[in-house]
Structures are given as C-alpha cells and as structure tokens.
C-alpha cells in the first residue's frame, strides 16, 4: 500500500491514498483501536472484514461505520481467537472466497484479567488469544496473502501485529508459558505482547529468507483509553475505578483514535519496512501526534528464543506455518 510520508511532520489518515480494490481483515474491530482503524480504512475505499468474537457487538460496529461511511464495503466475520477451531473456520471461510488479502491486522487482544482464565484448548487466556490465536490465523491465511502477490497488485501485502510498550517488561518463560505455576496478570500480558513482537520480527526474517514480497511489521498504540482498560473480568470496585478513570486517562494519554494511528501507518505508509516496529513518538512512547520507529527491547531481538517460541507455537496450535526457517 502507498501513502505519502515525510520525516518530522505529523502523519495523519489524510496521507492514506485510495484503497479501492484492497481487501483488509482486522481482528477485534468492534471497538477501540480496531474499530477506529476499520473506520478510516473503509473511508479510504478498502473492503474491510471486521473479525469479531461477539457477533452483536461486531454488527453494531459495522452499522456505526456505515452511518459515517454510507458506501463502506464491510464484511462481518465471526472469529474467536480463544478457540483454534473458530480460527480455522474463519480462515476456511476467507479462503473459500478466493480473494487476495492485501493486509491482515492482528489487533484483537486480552489484557490483564485478574484471575487465570483459559482458552477453549486450555491455554492461558492472554497467551492463547494474543499469541497462539493470531499465530494460527496468520499461518492459515498465508495463501490469501500470497494470492495478492499472484494478482499482481502494486503494493506488497502486509501483516501488522499489535504489540505494546509492555513488551519491555516481558520475558518468555518456557517453563511457565501458560502461567500454571503462579499467575500475574501483568506479567502474563507483558509476555504475550513480547511474544507478539517477536513473532512479527521472526516472521519477517522468514519471509525475507523465502524471497516473498509479503511484509511483516508491528505497531503499538502507546497507552490508549480503550475498552481493554475499562472492561474485563474485574471485581465491582475495580471495574468502577477503571470506568471512573477512563476520562482522565483519555485526557492524559491517547484516545483510541490516536492510538490507531500507528496501526494505520504500519498498514499503509510508504516508509514502512519489513520487520519495522512503529508507535507514537511522544514522551516514553505513551502518546504523541507523530508516528515513527518504536523502541524494541533487547529480549525481543533474541533470535534463538524467537525460533524456539515459533516452534512452540506450531506445536501448541498444531498449525504448521507455510514459511519455514530458512535463516540458518
């Protein structure tokens, strides 16, 4: 995809050109950053699939976007990343259409449930949803991304995976990957976001070694006042505090619309490079109108750990990735 980009100036959705003819999938597009990204991309003419776990919320989001963009080309897809069978059904539905996929945005996420929860397959909810669900989805949709190359589209297809500044606090603990031996909500979240970033970087290395034009990039929103902050399996008092703090967070930090800018940049901007990681350029990368390269923690650059994590993800999901390790 193309967009005008200039250094040291504010990048806005106005820099995104027409996306007519582009097919884009966004996971978790019913609210927050995913919704805001879907709204902008639909306004630019792309066909956008809102891949949502909750059908009612997904349909409400679709109708809201159509109110703002009457001619929006939208598709609602049911996708529960916490169920590998749901991931496969969704991917099969996409592939059965035979359409090229120009951009996959791995946006959906679970953040810090106060008690340990599990996916349908028994994985810790954050690791199972944020990491394994998106790993399997991306692997299964690779034929559609390859199809975009075969269709001779001008722009290289992109896979955008949402990480977080929380990755800097993360460690991949292979001995307790599912938090079975002691559960810390934030430690589990940070590990999942570190794993997401490592997945994006490792995928790019494999794509480059395979000689394909598909780009794998990552982005983070800073700290945005989204539903991840305000909703979840919290006790009544904590839920009330989070809801009360929401407006204050919105004033001090990013709105969900501003938080979507790095995602939109990663998905469309000319300056984006495979293996790039993009986020707001304000203080501590928490917020800011400028989007640029984000800081990557040293542990995210450990190629040995990334390869091991990749193999673990293949083993746990039972989904062999069509881009193998050709980097040795």
Confirm if 104 and 141 have CB atoms less than 8 A apart. Answer: yes
**Which pair of tokens denotes residue 42?**
């639909």
Confirm if 276 and 293 have CB atoms less than 8 A apart. Answer: yes
Neighbours of 304 (CB within 10 A): 7
Neighbours of 75 (CB within 10 A): 15
CA–CA distance, 15 with 104 (Å, rounded to integer): 20
Confirm if 266 and 218 have CB atoms less than 8 A apart. Answer: yes
Confirm if 37 and 224 have CB atoms less than 8 A apart. Answer: no
Q: Which of 35, 183, 189, 265 is catalytic?
A: 189
Task: Give a three-class secondary structure readout of 42-98.
Answer: HHCCCEEEEEECCHHHHHHHHHHHHHHCCCCEEEEEECCCCCHHHHHHHHHHHHHCC
- Is residue 277 part of the annotated active site? The answer reads no
Kindly list the catalytic residues.
189
């Amino acid at each position: 995809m193309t967009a005008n980009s200039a250094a040291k100036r504010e990048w806005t959705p106005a820099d995104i050109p027409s996306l007519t003819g582009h097919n884009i999938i966004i996971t978790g597009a019913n609210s927050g950053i995913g919704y805001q990204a879907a709204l902008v991309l639909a306004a630019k003419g792309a066909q956008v699939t809102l891949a949502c776990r909750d059908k009612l919320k997904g349909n409400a989001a679709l109708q809201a976007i159509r109110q703002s963009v009457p001619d929006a080309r939208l598709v609602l897809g049911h996708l529960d990343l916490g169920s590998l069978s749901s991931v496969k059904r969704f991917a099969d539905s996409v592939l059965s259409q035979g359409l090229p996929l120009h951009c996959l945005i791995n946006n959906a996420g679970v953040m810090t449930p106060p008690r340990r929860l599990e996916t349908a397959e028994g994985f810790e909810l954050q690791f199972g949803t944020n990491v394994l669900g998106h790993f399997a989805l991306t692997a299964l949709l690779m034929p559609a991304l390859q199809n975009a190359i075969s269709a001779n589209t001008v722009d290289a297809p992109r896979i955008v995976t949402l990480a977080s500044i929380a990755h800097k606090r993360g460690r991949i603990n292979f001995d307790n990957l599912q938090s079975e031996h002691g559960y810390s909500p934030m430690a589990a979240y940070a590990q999942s976001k570190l794993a997401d970033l490592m997945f994006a970087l490792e995928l790019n290395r494999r794509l480059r070694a395979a000689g394909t034009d598909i780009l794998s990039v990552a982005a983070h929103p800073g700290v945005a006042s989204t539903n991840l902050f305000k909703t979840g399996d919290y006790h009544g008092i904590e839920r009330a505090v989070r809801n009360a703090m929401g407006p204050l967070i919105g004033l001090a930090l990013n709105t969900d619309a501003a938080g979507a800018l790095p995602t939109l940049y990663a998905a469309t901007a000319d300056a984006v490079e495979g293996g790039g990681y993009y986020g707001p350029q304000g203080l501590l990368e928490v917020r800011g109108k400028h989007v640029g390269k984000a800081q990557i923690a040293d542990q995210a650059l450990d190629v040995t750990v990334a390869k091991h994590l990749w193999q673990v993800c293949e083993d746990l999901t039972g989904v062999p990735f069509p881009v193998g390790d050709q980097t040795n």
